[in-house]
Structure 1
């Protein structure tokens, strides 16, 4: 049998990672133009939400399939689906069409990301795996820097359609490289698809993700119904997995306390990542008065240091072990978050860059170590499932914490405005944009910034709680 060309397949994986990573940010950059063209302001959040939903929901299924029928066919299917979905999104004539085509794109993304990391686990020995997973994660950082600039250029010079079309050539090249240069054993174990388990898992994840995403806007009755659906789906899912001969999510992997702890840390720290990268640009524009472009660069050091952290963690795991390595990096996150809580309202730009350096080093180390450890703790035949589960925890963490951040931020801001009758919510909408803030009365700007400052402090108190919980999870498991 022909040997896999490790270098070329690694390049193809990096291309698909970049393609998936750039999609979120570049679409957000182009969204105002898309909305004005397709007239769908009231449902625009679904363009992003549905993509995340479908990616998260389909991830466990693809992980199981990659363990059963092989990595290559599942990876190729995911790339093809992502490319087709991208091409269709570029052809959308209204917001409903765009949202439906994003479903296809998200289903492709659900295969591309976890299977790519599983292939890296197959290609590289344990001592090199952390570095390669870290380098792969680094492409997320590169994408976060490039995407806003590229999105702005495409919208101004071409049209918003090319925000989606750009994925087509990248995806096709990666597809061909995988077809030609990835070779794996034809031996695949016979498997019966766990229909019942799949159905209840999808129902559980859809209900959970929808509840988290829309928590602040749903009525109490609707939240109660969704909570009931989550409980019923969870019970039915676990019963189905106990009966299944070849379960989609083997319950045995969830019995390991270290596996549970590592993935709970992934969930919490992924949420902390979103809290930092989403709200710091708001801080920069609303309080420091910087432009949108400069505000985005306040988190750029985090993306750069993410790559460094991914490389550093390999040596730390070897010398310190898992628990001590996590403890060290969580301590760095704790220091960075405390700094965000104690800095005064007018803090220089470079301070946030320094905090971004600390955060990026810790983020890259923790997320990469959790991926590697999740793969090591399971049997070889369950590596795909374990990788997919870890990826799912990242999505759940982002969705969960974004919702909690939003509720906290909005509650604090509303309470602060209630104490100041001269301020309105419309004024708050303007203060968060450096350009729009010029329309406000100069005497009200300091008060508005103080309200925004209080809201942002509330966000980082939530992050502090998430980091403390991560410390607790890091202490609960017993080493074998």
Structure 2
């Protein structure tokens, strides 16, 4: 570990004193710290000379590549939030109201499973083929989203010169933020015509991405034959990881609703989850020659940063998917209206992420900003979980804003801490682990929240509307035939279901705060700012 400390000190000093000026350092805090290696810059990816025509070609190529990277992030991240406002519409159309948690967790599950694998595949087979495959796959199924997102960040380090990289990363971070905000709005608006348009609209965007990859992006091909490359892929590790997550989601989704918690199917699923997880750990740390999650990066600050990322994702995704459902069922909002009501939460997260660099320059501490963010997040999460059914819109907005401010102050600073705490050659892995842990936190919390939501809703309906079968009242058409008094009782049932589902993320908010408290500090060479380090 002492060697890593020494390497980090050298890297920090050279990066901050030589590679970044004051403004760029501020940008780097809002984006993953780029790898110091520069294998293939944009200038090398395009054959140019000193002629004006070639310089014009370089400018055009820079623009097109930037569009490609930005579009990839936009498509992938918008898909995550667009579905949040259309779950009720999908459930109504497909007559499958009890499976709404799968709509929320299904996309995240495939993203979680594919993100580390696509990153490793790109190291083995090359960036361009894997990016092409990810886009083509995403046009058919959501699993390609993990590849598009991860490859967009990885290729910044491949094609953008070091002196310009922080600017491009800031552009991509801003794109991610904008897509997160626009997703629920676009999703809700299109759902009022047809929810399927949300998925059809991605096809032309994927086609544009494919054309840019084929005709603009020029990266060196990987060496070696196909067989040698296939042997390097960690198929067993990826498979056991997916099986672990699927077993957990099935158990929490079926438990208490389709099967009793102590029934054989649920017990077997939990046992399988434990077995697959142990197998995954053994494969990654003892068997696989090129694991998707190498053990050497799991030093103290990385573990704490990933724990914080996991918990932040758990809080964020429950808010993104269950707040619109609450607004629609309890307050009668349309899908587009519920999307508008989610804007304060997503917008304040984006604003705080982008301004976190300025805050640490003002207060001269990274950990202090994260501590404040963690505390605010606990307060905001509790306020949302316990708000009254008749809370005013102003009260709801204030509580949601507090919840978002806490998350926004932590997100980018945690990833900066994570990448600062590893050796230079592991920066890309650390960045990928951050995204991976955040998404898997969302998968876990959505599974838990979904199980609680379904069980509480059924019990509340049986208690307050005993003359009805709970499953029948999940159909909006049947619910619409209720008397006004019974409609109000049904809204109360949905309110309590949401409340208990949101209460389940309070422990995640507390663990998030404890995680950032445990980060050790290190004064970044060349600055007076204290960062987290060993």
How many Å apart are 1:453 and its aligned residue?
Answer: 3.0
How many Å apart are 1:70 and its aligned residue?
Answer: 4.2
Q: 1:206 aligns to what?
A: 243
Q: Is residue 231 of structure 1 aligned with residue 274 of structure 2?
A: yes
Q: Equivalent of 1:146, from 172, 179, 186?
A: 186
Q: Is residue 80 of structure 1 aligned with residue 136 of structure 2?
A: yes
Indicate if the aligned counterparts of 1:279 and 1:456 stay in contact, CA closer than 8 A. yes
Runs of 5+ unmatched residues, structure 1 = 86-104
How many Å apart are 1:51 and its aligned residue?
Answer: 4.2
TM-score normalised by the chain length of structure 2: 0.72
Name the SS of the counterpart of 1:378 in structure 2. coil
Q: 1:65 to 1:341 in 2, by over 3 A?
A: closer
Q: 2:411 aligns to what?
A: 367
Name the SS of the counterpart of 1:401 in structure 2. helix
Q: 1:188 to 1:379 in 2, by over 3 A?
A: farther
Out of 222-231 and 138-147, give the one that drifted further.
222-231
Q: 1:137 aligns to what?
A: 176
Runs of 5+ unmatched residues, structure 2 = 1-43, 47-57, 521-532
Name the SS of the counterpart of 1:136 in structure 2. helix
Out of 60-69 and 463-472, give the one that drifted further.
60-69
Q: 2:494 aligns to what?
A: 452
How many Å apart are 1:59 and its aligned residue?
Answer: 1.7
Q: 1:71 aligns to what?
A: 127
Indicate if the aligned counterparts of 2:84 and 2:324 stay in contact, CA closer than 8 A. no
Q: 1:414 to 1:230 in 2, by over 3 A?
A: closer
For residues 320 and 428 of structure 1, what CA distance do their matches in structure 2 show? 57
Name the SS of the counterpart of 2:155 in structure 1. helix
Q: String of CA shifts for 1:400-446, please: whole Å, max 9, x gaps.
A: 1112112323444445455546564549946x96x876532233344
Q: Is residue 390 of structure 1 aligned with residue 426 of structure 2?
A: no
Name the SS of the counterpart of 1:299 in structure 2. helix
For residues 231 and 208 of structure 1, what CA distance do their matches in structure 2 show? 10
Alignment of 1:264-413 (within 5 A): 264-318=307-361, 320-413=364-457
CA RMSD of the aligned region, Å? 3.7
Q: 1:88 aligns to what?
A: none
Q: 2:76 aligns to what?
A: 20
Indicate if the aligned counterparts of 2:81 and 2:180 stay in contact, CA closer than 8 A. no
Out of 24-33 and 290-299, give the one that drifted further.
24-33
For residues 52 and 206 of structure 1, what CA distance do their matches in structure 2 show? 14
Counting matched residue pairs gives: 452
Out of 119-128 and 56-65, give the one that drifted further.
119-128
Q: 1:58 aligns to what?
A: 114
Q: Equivalent of 2:206, from 156, 162, 171?
A: 171
Q: 1:118 to 1:365 in 2, by over 3 A?
A: farther
How many Å apart are 1:217 and its aligned residue?
Answer: 0.9
TM-score normalised by the chain length of structure 1: 0.79
For residues 388 and 477 of structure 1, what CA distance do their matches in structure 2 show? 20
Q: 1:472 to 1:189 in 2, by over 3 A?
A: farther
Q: Is residue 216 of structure 1 aligned with residue 253 of structure 2?
A: yes
Alignment of 1:151-162 (within 5 A): 151-153=191-193, 160=196
For residues 168 and 460 of structure 1, what CA distance do their matches in structure 2 show? 34
For residues 386 and 89 of structure 2, what CA distance do their matches in structure 1 show? 38
Q: 1:96 aligns to what?
A: none
Larger Rg: 2
For residues 231 and 274 of structure 1, what CA distance do their matches in structure 2 show? 24
